[in-house]
A and B are shown apart, each in its own frame.
Chain A
Amino acid sequence: MEFDFADEQPKLLMLMYGLIAFVVVVGGLLLLLDVVPAWFARRREAQLVAASASGAPLPRRSKPREGIFAIFFLLPTLLLLTIGLVVPAIRTLLLSLMNGSSTDWVGLRNYGWMFSDDSMLRVLINTLVWVVLVPVVATAFGLIYAVLVDKARFEAVAKSLIFLPMAISFVGASIIWKFVYAYRGEGDQIGLLNQIVVSLGGEPKQWLLESPLNTLLLVVIMVWIQAGFAMVVLSAAIKAIPGDIVEAARLDGVSPWQMFWQITMPSIRPALIVVAVTLTIATLKVFDIVRTATNGNYDTSVIASEMYNQAFRYGQNGQGSALAVFLFILVIPVVIYQIRNLRQQREG
């Protein structure tokens, strides 16, 4: 049977409804905002006319009520944030203190489970490995590449190539790398990694089944995607270093090595921190890669993928919520660190 376009029409209809809803909501809001003040203005004019006609004292001009506009401008955002983020987050906090089907309060038992269950300890250790390796390796690579490419020809092309994986979904990237790690028991290897191993005289392996190596191989995927981000931000920071500082240092006969550590590094420190923090937060929440490449099997699971499994596959809402809350708690110190840094920067 061939693909039938008629089957797709309900979807396109739904998409059209969505677009109509968009036009109605946003257009309606803007229209409302135009009509209401015009109406007020007319009423005030009428009052003035009436007042001057009857000879009564002119009504005192009330202070412009800007707040009313603000409410309308902010209404959709505040409504959605409350329904979609604030209330659910509070409920998740409560759910984490309840049992799997959310019928009884169990206190902190879900959190106790998180730190005592053997397979959960593995998950926590894996997450730690991710969070340590990805920001460090990706930032370091991005920095080295940004410095290297700064003097190179074909700079724009080279940067684009490194940056390109940013556009690829984690799912797509995982498939790309699963293909690199592919294994065949007999005959030629089809995976690049095994081919390299074989041509060096080694034995091919089922890479993704071997713990703890498989976690490292998944980390490679994340680094491959995120290094471009680090490189672009750091490269922009390097180019923002004032040219006269660099020139003055060069006139003083500073070696490239000293230049890097004494001029470049201090100048781009804020950007470095931002990159590392952003990568840390992104890594904490990594889910797609683990899910696509191994589905969390073979000791590769991390907090975010385990949270999904507990809450949406095993129906353990309590344990899933506890993992989500733990993820949130892990993010907080990172963010506080960044805010403190920003404040220092503003003062300094």
Chain B
Amino acid sequence: MTTATPTVAAGAQKVDGTTSTTAGRVRRRLNSRTATLVSIVIAVVWTIPTFGLLISSLRPEDEIKTTGWWTAFTNPQFTLENYQQVLFGRSSSSGQLASYFINSLAITIPSVLFPLAFAALAAYALAWIKFRGRDWLYIAIFALQIVPLQMALVPLLRFFSTGVTLGGVTLMPAWDLVDEQKFAQVWFAHTCFALPFAVFLLHNFISQLPGDLMEAARVDGATHPKIFRTIVLPLITPALAAFGIFQFLWVWNDLLVALIFAGGGNETAPLTVRLAEMAGTRGSEWQRLTAGAFVSIVVPLVVFLSLQRFFVRGLLAGSVKG
């Protein structure tokens, strides 16, 4: 994407040089200078709120509460006390965020792996195994993307708490999960909600693999499971990475599903739930909110920045091709 720029720009300049006057060239260069300047200014403005939060989280409590973060440049006082407090402090008013951080991890990792594996299998079947009703099934799964997850919340919660009974016969008992076992129902919910998009995205990639490859493998006597494992999986690694990052960011940053299925206690609730609660009940405790917010941001930020390439590719495949 970025590599295309220099060639286009060079071509444009060449054309300018032959067709326009010196004045025109100067004007164009000024235009491009202005564009650069304006775009940098906007980018900086865009970053200021986050930057202010980061600076504030490093300032002592008294300073945060009485002066603006921009005064830190003229009167620099920095400390890690806020992070110490918000992560490891055990008083109920401090964040205890270390505990919630582990919850976030425990929720996110399986919630990424399960839909990834299931959707890859399903997408392969929908793309390369011939069976009756295949197209209709794909369309049905594709269409499920538009069902807002709000439509599923109340009954799904009831499903976990009371099980399934049909005409007095218990088809499935209640899950009756306590404490950290509730992770299981969060995994379940996230997996269900992620599948339609996951199948769609991976199907986009898998169906574009060269058919000759599959044909050759079949002629050699390879079965579908073998083709899937040895040929398809290695080839769709970038797509798997793209969806993995998507799902990771979505689950880590999710509030609604966690709020309903994980509850609010420090046994299961993730960082987002805790932070939203702190913002509601301790809205003026900025020394904890700023540090807490940054704790929750840092993991997705690292994942995002290191894997941005895959993320953008997935984004474009998911939205433009769709």
Contacts and interface: CB of A to CB of B under 8 A. Distances in A.
Interface of A: 1-3, 7-8, 10-15, 18-19, 21-22, 26, 29-30, 33-34, 37, 66-67, 69-70, 73-74, 76-78, 80-81, 83-89, 91-93, 95, 145, 148-158, 160-172, 174-180, 182, 187-192, 195, 224, 227, 229, 232-233, 235-237, 239, 243, 246-247, 250-251, 253, 256, 270-271, 274-275, 278, 281, 284-285, 287-288, 291-293, 295, 304, 307-308, 311-312, 317, 320-321, 323-325, 327-328, 331-332, 335, 342
Contacts of B175: none
A163 B309 CA distance: 12
B129 A66 contact: yes
Given A84-B189, A155-B5, A175 B147 contact: no
Contacts of B183: 11, 14-15, 18
B235 interface: no
A251 B255 contact: no
B88 interface: yes
A14 B272 CA distance: 20
A18 B251 CA distance: 16
Given A11-B102, A15-B105, A325 B151 contact: yes
Contacts of A167: 249, 297, 300-301, 303-305
Given A11-B183, A291-B255, A77 B50 contact: no
Interface string B91-103: 1000010110011
A192 B68 contact: yes
B80 interface: no
B119 to A, nearest CB: 7
B247 interface: no
Contact of A281 (B11, B113, B146): B146
A158 B64 contact: no
B84 to A, nearest CB: 10
Contacts of B65: 190
B49 A160 contact: no
B66 interface: yes
B216 interface: no
A73 B124 contact: yes
Contact of A164 (B102, B153, B259, B301): B301
Interface of B: 1-2, 4-5, 7-9, 11-12, 15, 19, 31-32, 35-36, 38-40, 42-44, 46-50, 52-53, 56, 64-71, 87-91, 96, 98-99, 102-103, 105-106, 109-110, 113-114, 117-119, 121-122, 124-126, 129-132, 134, 137, 141, 144, 146-156, 159, 179-181, 183-184, 187-189, 191-193, 195-196, 199, 223-226, 228-229, 249, 252-256, 259-260, 267, 272, 275-276, 279-280, 283, 286, 289-290, 292-293, 296-297, 300-301, 303-305, 308, 312, 315-316, 319-320, 322
B231 to A, nearest CB: 14
A88 B152 contact: yes
B307 to A, nearest CB: 10
B255 A85 contact: no
B223 A172 contact: no
B47 to A, nearest CB: 5
Given A18-B110, A179-B49, A149 B39 contact: yes
Given A1-B90, A8-B99, A171-B276, A187 B66 contact: yes
Contact of B316 (A73, A77, A236): A236
A86 B192 CA distance: 10
Contacts of A67: 129, 131-132
Contacts of A150: 5
Contact of A30 (B9, B36, B152, B225): B225
Given A14-B180, A151-B9, A69 B224 contact: yes
A154 B36 contact: yes
Contact of A80 (B19, B36, B38, B118): B118
A77 B292 CA distance: 36
Contacts of B124: 73
A69 B90 CA distance: 53
Contacts of A311: 153-154
Given A74-B121, A168-B297, A188-B66, A92 B279 contact: no
Given A92-B152, A167-B301, A288-B255, A237 B289 contact: no
B193 to A, nearest CB: 7
Contacts of B36: 151-154
Contact of A247 (B11, B99, B155): B11
A145 B130 CA distance: 45
Given A77-B141, A167-B301, A180-B52, A84 B110 contact: no
B195 A80 contact: yes
A92 B155 contact: yes
A77 B12 contact: no
In the complex, the 3 A-B pairs of residues with the closest C-beta atoms, listed nearest first: A84-B192, A169-B253, A73-B125
A328 B151 contact: yes
